[in-house]
Chains A and B, each alone.
Chain A
Amino acid sequence: MTTAYIHPIHLRWSDEDRNGHVNNSKFMTYTEDARIAWLGRMRAETGGGPGSEGVILASLHCEYKAQVHFAQSKELEVVNTLRRLGSSSVELHQVVRLPGDDGEVVADLITVLVSFDYANGRSAPWGDRQREWLQKFTEHAVESSPA
C-alpha cells in the first residue's frame, strides 16, 4: 500500500494566461509548493539533522495532460510519491489532478531533488531517519507510464 502525500492547491485568477487556461509555468509553482510542504513535514517529523536542512531542484520533467480553466476548477491537488531514493537525492512522481481519487490528471511530473548544504554548496547525504521517512512514500505500483 503506497502512501502518497497529497497537497491541495487553490488557483488564482492570474494563473490563467491569454489563452484562457492555466499557464504552463504554474504547474511548476504548484508542485514546488507541494514539495516544500512535504519536506517541511519530513523535517518536523524526523527532528531535522543532517540531510534534512535543505534541498535543491536538480531535474524536472513535465507532461501536460489536460488544460485547466479557472472558470471550471478553482482547486487542484498534487499527489506525491517516491520513485527512487539515492544517497543524497530523491526522484519524485508528482501528479497534478482535479481533487479526489477520480480526479482527471492534468499534469504528470518527475522531479529530482538533492539534499543540499547551501552553506558549502554541495550535496549532503540523507540521514537514516530521513531515509526511513521518505521510503514510506515509495511508489510500488506505477499506474501511469513507467519511466
Chain B
Amino acid sequence: MMQDEPSAVSQERDVPVGETYVYEVQLRWSDEDRMGHLNNTRYLTFAEDARTRWFAMAPRDEGDQAGFILARMEVDYLQQVRTADNDWLKVVNTVLGVGRSSLRIQQEIQRMDGEVVNRVIATQVHFDYDRDSSVPWTDTQRAWLERFATVKPDATDPVAAGTT
C-alpha cells in the first residue's frame, strides 16, 4: 500500500482549480435561540446536510458497502446570522486533502451575497459500518474527490498530506 506516500493532491500536478459543491440551506425560525441569532449547533447541521448531498454523488464500486463517517470538525464562528434578515445561506464545499481512507474538507457557510459567516474544517473517513473499520478510497473515488481540491494542502498536516 502507498499509505505513507503524499496524496496526489499535495504533489505538483494539474489539479483543476475552482470546482466547488454549493448547497443552499433554507433557514427555520426555530434555528434561532434566545440570543436572537442562529444557534451555534445549527451550523453543524447545515454542514452535515451539505456533506450528505455532496457525498451522495460520490462514485462507488458495485457491492461497495462503505460510507462516510465524521472523524473531526473545527468550526470558526465569524459572523452572527439572524433569520429575520436571511431566509437562506449557502455552504461552499472544497477538498483540502485526500488521505488513504480519509478526507479533509473545508465548508464555508456564506450569506447568499457571498459573505462568509462560518468556516468548518472537517475530516471524513471512508468507513465500512458493518465491519466497523475504515476502507481505502478506490482510484475512482480519489479522482472524484480531487476534482474539488482547490487549496494546496499544508504539507505538515498529516491528513492533508495523506499520511493518515
Contact = CB atoms under 8 A, between A and B. Distances in A.
B30 A29 contact: yes
A13 B29 contact: no
Interface residues of A, number: 10
A144 interface: no
Contacts, number: 22
Nearest to A34: B29
B4 interface: no
Contacts of B28: 29, 32-33
A32 B48 contact: no
Which of B25, B28, B30, B45: most chain A CB closer than 10 A? B28
Interface in B23-41: 25-26, 28-30
Contacts of A33: 28-30
Contact of B49 (A9, A13, A29, A32): A13
A14 B29 contact: no
B26 A10 contact: yes
Nearest to B27: A33
B26 A13 contact: no
B52 interface: yes
Contacts of A9: 26
A36 interface: yes
Contacts of B26: 8-10
A33 B49 CA distance: 19
A12 interface: yes
Interface string B2-17: 0000000000000000
A5 B25 CA distance: 21
A9 B26 CA distance: 8
A14 B45 contact: yes
10 contacts: A10-B25, A10-B26, A13-B48, A13-B49, A13-B52, A14-B49, A29-B28, A32-B28, A33-B29, A36-B29
Given A33-B28, A33-B29, A36-B29, 18 more contacts: A8-B26, A9-B26, A10-B25, A10-B26, A12-B48, A12-B49, A13-B48, A13-B49, A13-B52, A14-B45, A14-B48, A14-B49, A29-B28, A29-B30, A32-B28, A32-B29, A32-B30, A33-B30
The 9 closest A-B pairs by CB, nearest first: A10-B26, A13-B52, A36-B29, A12-B49, A33-B28, A13-B49, A33-B29, A14-B45, A29-B30
